[in-house]
Amino acid sequence: MQSTYPHTERTAWPYPRLFAHRGAGHIAPENTLAAMRVGHQLGYGAVEFDAKLSRDAIALLMHDDTLERTTNGHGAFRDFDASALLRLDAGAWHSQGFAGEPIPTLADVLRYLGDNGMVADVEIKPCPGRGAETGEVVARELAAYLQASPHAASQFFVSSFSVDALRAAQSVAPQVPRTLLAERYDPSCDALLQSLGCRTFATDHAALTPDLVAHMHASGYWVMAYTINDVARAREALGWGVDAIFTDALTDMAAAFPTRHR
């Protein structure tokens, strides 16, 4: 593992150490505005969520390519216009207290997070075959929001497993910071980080080693690890120098780590 791409001077990590995964982890229905509110109420200053496009190219929050797990709809997300998706119930699957919670638009979530001073990792999660289009729409929307809301300028960045999405984001909104997501490191990640102009490498914590963290840091990149729900494992990763972790275990992590981590 050679540090051949010192493309940038790595400065101090500018965000919280703990990111509430999909808004509020397991406590509220993932990728909803209710989840963002719960994350905020629990003292989290940073969230991660997943954005993809409806058939008519509106950016909405959703993890899966299909509707069954987290809504009362059926079928493929990409087969429906936003008007139909926004009528679905995205809360009842979690618990009755959240029944009626809709799928939110990216616009609504950015406004909520920006108004509340929260950091957001906007994961671009394209439906199959829509990587470039999704990257372009999400990055343009983010850039437009940030231009209109300069107070939030340092709060938001994008991430993706989709190289096409990151390349499109880089092309239309180079000023929005980018994170490369990879299930595990391989040497092609080094070249991708450089060519996509990313600042951060994010990977599955199970695939992370202290050597990999050191390699990324020596190359000028920050490191994030998903998804850590065990406090001891979180301590270990942060001890290796991982810059931030994603977690579903909001209350456990809040009890274990100092407030400044959030």
CA distance 147 to 139: 12
Nearest to ligand G3P of 185, 226 (CB atom): 226
Closest distance of CB 185 from ligand G3P, Å: 15
Which 70-129 residues touch ligand G3P, going by CB under 6 A?
A: 123
- Beta-carbon contacts of 97 under 8 Å, excluding residues fewer than 6 positions away, are none
At 137, which amino acid appears?
A: V
Closest distance of CB 87 from Mg ion, Å: 24
Query: Smallest Cα–Cα separation from 222: which of 9, 46, 45?
Result: 9
Report the partner that residue 219 touches, choosing among ligand G3P, Mg ion, none (CB closer than 5 to 8 A by kind): none
CA distance 229 to 249: 5
Closest distance of CB 211 from Mg ion, Å: 25
Nearest to Mg ion of 123, 141 (CB atom): 123
Indicate which single residue of 38, 60, 88, 181 sits in contact with ligand G3P (rule: CB under 6 A): 181
Binding pattern for the stretch 150-169 against ligand G3P, x by CB under 6 A and - elsewhere: ---------x----------
Task: Tell me: does residue 243 bind ligand G3P (CB under 6 A).
Answer: no
Closest distance of CB 121 from ligand G3P, Å: 6
Closest distance of CB 49 from ligand G3P, Å: 8
Indicate which single residue of 15, 80, 185, 226 sits in contact with ligand G3P (rule: CB under 6 A): 226
CA distance 218 to 214: 6
The residue number whose beta carbon is nearest to ligand G3P equals 226
Nearest to Mg ion of 123, 190 (CB atom): 123
Nearest to ligand G3P of 158, 168 (CB atom): 158
CA distance 134 to 54: 10
Nearest to ligand G3P of 21, 215 (CB atom): 21
Report the partner that residue 181 touches, choosing among ligand G3P, Mg ion, none (CB closer than 5 to 8 A by kind): ligand G3P
CA distance 99 to 94: 8
What residues are labeled active site? 21, 63
- Say how many residues make up the chain: 262
Binding site for ligand G3P (CB under 6 A): 21, 48, 50, 63, 123, 159, 181, 202, 226-227, 246
